[in-house]
Structure 1
Amino acid sequence: MSTGVIIITDTEFETEVLKSEQPVLVYFWAAWCGPCKLMAPVLNTAANNYGDRLKIVKMEVDPNPVAVKEYQIEGVPAFRLVRDGQLLAATEGAIGKEKLLDFIEANLN
């Protein structure tokens, strides 16, 4: 059971994402990205709403090139939903709370 947003790196990606027993929403961000800063409260809302059935992890793109390349991150913020090591869905760009929750809901069921 998730307790909020977990910050991870490339070295933790396999354990925290690919081998997770729960589906995982991976949030790719950058410190220099203005829209990324707006996503923090939205991610916290998602963690509060779906924490019992979804793990949410946060990865900074610049120090983690392996996952960025593997998941073809072309812009930030970016979201990848992974279940059982497989990519279920992807979206890039800042999105509002409702759109993020809709994205999660549509892909969790």
Structure 2
Amino acid sequence: MSADHLLAASVYTFSLGRLGATTGALIGLAGVIIAWRTLARPTSRPRAVPAMVAGLIGLGLGGLVAATTEGGLGTGNGLGGAYVALLVGLIATVLGGWALARSRRTR
């Protein structure tokens, strides 16, 4: 049995699953950063909406990759990154919603 059969994808191979999961995680991370900065300044309501949108996009991409990936964790198909994108997207959505609610209360 050769080493080629042990891994589904090389460490250096960037599949569509990995690309989608990475994109979702980065967009979700941008949403977390925007929401965090919005919470620091509660009067900036317009920034809370993009944070929530970025979080929802991260959730959507992570969910899409997780639902369509064949194989398990460690196979190189992006399933681990999809879980990260789901988590980061959820955090961004919650923080963005919290910032939006907080900005409405301070008005």
TM-score if structure 1 supplies the norm length? 0.29
TM-score if structure 2 supplies the norm length? 0.29
> Could you say which structure has the larger radius of gyration?
2
